[in-house]
A and B are shown apart, each in its own frame.
Chain A
Amino acid sequence: DVKVTQSSRYLVKRTGEKVFLECVQDMDHENMFWYRQDPGLGLRLIYFSYDVKMKEKGDIPEGYSVSREKKERFSLILESASTNQTSMYLCASSPPDRKNQPQHFGDGTRLSIL
């Protein structure tokens, strides 16, 4: 089975801090994604990456950046955390688009910014 591991289930940080959310997958997937999940809004794509050192903006990239130095790891960075970034963050991975394969998700990180 595909395993997508997010480094923290719960995280509390302060306004203005630089926050790192880490995600690792063990299936050699090319594609990796970061979503934000808020009640009533569903999942919204922040950033995705289809290869090492490659990244693309999703629907809501403002206030975030990402890093993909190794194929298995995709990091989400909040450059200067703000209270409106309090949310559930989900990481996912999938094989290249030529294959009809779903995305596989991690357990999520519930981030609170105080």
Chain B
Amino acid sequence: AQTVTQSQPEMSVQEAETVTLSCTYDTSESDYYLFWYKQPPSRQMILVIRQEAYKQQNATENRFSVNFQKAAKSFSLKISDSQLGDAAMYFCAYKGYGGSQGNLIFGKGTKLSVKP
């Protein structure tokens, strides 16, 4: 069975600085998708960024980028120029390519605090 591990329960970053959130996963599949979701306090969970395993190029969405290391089964999220609005729980998630109807497997989350 696939597993997703986020080893940092909490992280803190100074406003305008860069922070990297770690995620590792375990799978025997060769094709899959990886996602980072953001859940602000008392607000809806939203997609931050996604990565297809067959793509070698790391995904980028504005200030958010990933470092995808397929051999190491690592999928870290880098947030550049951190803003106060980035404070949230961040969840890493895995979806198998042939998985059961799009089921996601989530890590336990990393709580990110942004200091002004």
Closest CB in chain B relative to A104 CB, distance in Å: 8
**Do A43 and B106 have beta carbons less than 8 Å apart?**
yes
Partner among A103, A107, A108 whose Cβ is within 8 Å of the Cβ of B104: A103
**B residues near A84, Cβ cutoff 8 Å:** none
| Interface residues contributed by chain A, number (CB under 8 Å) | 25
Contact residues of B between 8 and 38, Cβ < 8 Å to A: 9, 33, 35, 37
Closest CB in chain A relative to B59 CB, distance in Å: 12
| Interface residues contributed by chain B, number (CB under 8 Å) | 23
**A residues near B109, Cβ cutoff 8 Å:** 42
Q: Do A45 and B103 form a contact, CB below 8 Å, given A100-B33, A105-B46?
A: yes
**B residues near A56, Cβ cutoff 8 Å:** 100-101
Partner among B91, B98, B99, B103 whose Cβ is within 8 Å of the Cβ of A42: B91
Interface on chain A toward B: helix, strand, loop, or mixed SS?
loop
Residue among B35, B52, B103 with the highest chain A CB neighbour number at 10 A: B103
Contact residues of B between 28 and 56, Cβ < 8 Å to A: 33, 35, 37, 43-47, 50, 52
Closest CB in chain B relative to A66 CB, distance in Å: 14
Contact residues of B between 65 and 116, Cβ < 8 Å to A: 91, 98-104, 106-109
**A residues near B44, Cβ cutoff 8 Å:** 105-108
